[in-house]
Amino acid sequence: MVKNNKVEVVENLEVLFRNASALVMAEYRGLSVSQQTKLRRELKKAGATFNVVKMTLAKRAAENIGLDSLSEYFSGPTGIAVIESDPVEAAKVLNKFAKDNEAFVVKGGLMNSEPLSVDQINVLANIEPRDVLLAKIAGGFNAPLVKVAAGTKAILNKAGYAFSALLEKKDNGIEISEVENKKDVLTSEEVNKEEE
């Protein structure tokens, strides 16, 4: 490769690495072209790309922008998944592809300038989808409101039963103000017990 081309490739990799929300390195030795194409399509849907570049150039680009921790992954035929959006979705794709293809081995990566182990990438891959998590959060906020509404309804129902009982007594000719004995007026608790 001509020196000018190498410099250009390194500069392009630096830009890719800086703009990525996460990077995942994986060995792809033994994958067919059709398998690599399938991986690239799946990653594209998840907001990521899979790049096969010369490891010496990738290592130089990483070191130039202070990502020295990536150097250990740049040996052998290594591809770089550059994740530009949600790392969880891309990790799911990589994890599933590795399970389906023994030749594809995830080595590790980087997210927010922090190293990612294979175990951490697997944890990312097992996080529920974003919309499911948002639904759970919304449900968590909604639960206390449902309890308040149910409690308010119960109080109003009890007050309504007590009021009905008082009206019934009045209809039977007893003035509410004239009731001297507490036994003649049903409390809301007694109304509930009578209904049971």
pLDDT tens readout for residues 64-82:
888 888 888 888 888 899 9
Q: How high is the pLDDT of residue 71?
A: 80
Q: How high is the pLDDT of residue 110?
A: 87
Structure tokens at 141: 């906020």
Q: How high is the pLDDT of residue 41?
A: 93
Q: Which domain holds residue 151?
A: 133-195
Write down the pTM of the prediction.
0.62
Q: Which residues of 23-33 are buried (b: 16+ CB within 10 A; e: fewer)?
A: bbbbbbeebee
Verify that 160 and 84 share a domain, yes or no. no
Verify that 101 and 139 share a domain, yes or no. no
Q: How high is the pLDDT of residue 7?
A: 87
Each residue's pLDDT tens digit, 107-136? 988 888 788 888 888 888 887 766 766 776
Structure tokens at 80: 């770089």
Which CATH number covers residue 15? 3.30.70.1730
Say if CB 192 and CB 158 are below 8 A apart: yes
